Amino acid sequence: MDLTEQINQLEADLQELGFLLEKAERKRVQELLKAEQKKVEKEITVKRQQKEPTGQERGRSISTLQSTYTVKITNYAWDQSEKFVKIYLTLKDVHKIPSENVEANFTERSFSVLVKDLEKKNHQMTILNLLHPIDEKNSYTKIKTDMVLLMCKKQTTQKWEFLTQVEKLSKEKSNKPNHDDNADPSEGLMNMLKKIYSEGDDEMKRTINKAWTESQEKKVKGEDMIDF
């Protein structure tokens, strides 16, 4: 694997770490992901320095780097047939650039695509943890008008309800009841406040303490408890 491909893979890792960080809720998990992000960023810097040319070529390289940067592909859709999962990436004028500028890599549980130098930008997308394994050797891409089509060959003909395991778990989590309908609402409020208090900064703790004191004073006076 040459330096360019190594850098592309590291950048894909960095984007995926950013996605996971957005989803993470536990502080320790967030800290681990941030530490890994810094590690990958350092690796990218080292690889780019190794790749950096000298002299006149360096001047041209810097100019190219300044005019070309990588963006994440977010505009896509997916569909399926009995044999394939199809990913549609909408990219204006992608059919006008050389076909070799569109690179795709497939593994049994992931795929990534890099579209280079399209309107002075590189466009990249990486999807990990596919819902079911695919046949990477028989997966391929097609270039259409303003679109890249990724054909992910299914290993079996079963229907995919989701594209990734993350989407499946997220859906299952959202369908779970968040509270017991018979539970005391005030108990749920107290638990929520305790959680906010334990994780909050000094200003948040002062605000909660003040609100709690005022609510107790009103309760003693026979007034309704303050809304938090």
CB hemisphere CA count around 160 (13 angstroms): 25
Are 157 and 83 in contact by the 8 Å Cβ rule? The answer is: yes
- The whole-model pTM stands at 0.52
- On whether residue 131 sits in a domain, the answer given is yes
**CATH at residue 144:** 2.60.40.790
Q: What is the pLDDT along the chain (228 residues), one digit of tens a residue?
A: 677 778 778 877 777 777 777 777 888 878 888 888 888 888 878 877 776 654 444 444 444 444 568 888 888 899 999 999 999 999 999 999 999 999 999 999 999 999 998 888 899 999 988 999 999 999 999 999 999 999 999 999 999 999 998 888 888 877 766 555 555 555 655 666 676 667 666 666 677 677 777 766 766 666 544 444
Question: Do 59 and 92 belong to one domain?
Answer: no
Q: Can you state the angle between helices 202-220 and 185-199, rounded to 10 degrees?
A: 150
Domain that holds residue 83: 69-178
Number of folded domains in the chain?
2
CA distances from 196 to 7, 32, 69, 191 (A): 40, 22, 40, 9
How far is Cα 51 from Cα 43, in angstroms, rounded to an integer? 12
CB hemisphere CA count around 138 (13 angstroms): 10
